[in-house]
Amino acid sequence: DQQVKQNSPSLSVQEGRISILNCDYTNSMFDYFLWYKKYPAEGPTFLISISSIKDKNEDGRFTVFLNKSAKHLSLHIVPSQPGDSAVYFCAASAPGNQFYFGTGTSLTVIP
C-alpha cells in the first residue's frame, strides 16, 4: 500500500527553466512533508520540508507547495541548473510515525 506516490518517474527540463516535481499522498493524517535529493551512488540528502500548517515554503531556488485538500505537494526549482539533475524523493509522516517515501522522480536539466 503506497501512501506516497510520485507518478512521474522522469522529467527533463531546459537549463534556466522551471522544474516542477509532483507528489500525491493518501493518508490525511500526514502533517509533515519533505523532499530529498539523491545523486547516483549516494544516499538521499535533505532538501526542503513543509508542515501542514503552511501551504508554501521557500529556500532559495527551491519552493515546496502543499495543497492539503488535494493531498498534493510539489517542488518547484527555478531557475533549474544542470547540477540539479538527480532523483528527487518526497516523503510524508504523521506524528510519531515513520516517514513514507515516494518512488522518486529523476530530473535531468539539459544545458
**Bridge partners, residue 20, by sequence:** 76
98 binds another protein (CB under 8 A): yes
- Asked if 3 is part of the footprint of another protein (rule: CB under 8 A), the reply reads no
Half-sphere exposure of 90 (CA within 13 A, CB side): 29
Find the part of the chain contacting another protein (CB under 8 A) among 22-30, 41-49, 59-67, 76-84: 41-49
Which backbone phi and psi does 82 adopt, to 5 degrees?
-55, -35
Residue 41 in contact with another protein, rule: CB under 8 A: yes
Grid cell 531556488 — which residue?
61
> Among the candidate windows 18-26, 60-68, 74-82, 94-102, which touches another protein by CB under 8 A?
94-102
CB-based contacts of 42: which residues, under 8 Å, 6+ apart?
A: none
Q: What is the C-alpha to C-alpha distance for residues 5 and 59, in angstroms, rounded to an integer?
A: 23
42 forms part of the interface with another protein (CB under 8 A): yes
Helix, coil or strand: residue 84: helix
Q: Which of 20, 89, 107, 109 binds another protein (CB under 8 A)?
A: 89
Q: Which residue ranges make up the site for another protein (CB under 8 A)? A: 2, 9, 32, 34, 36, 41-46, 49, 51, 89, 93, 95-96, 98-99, 101, 103-104
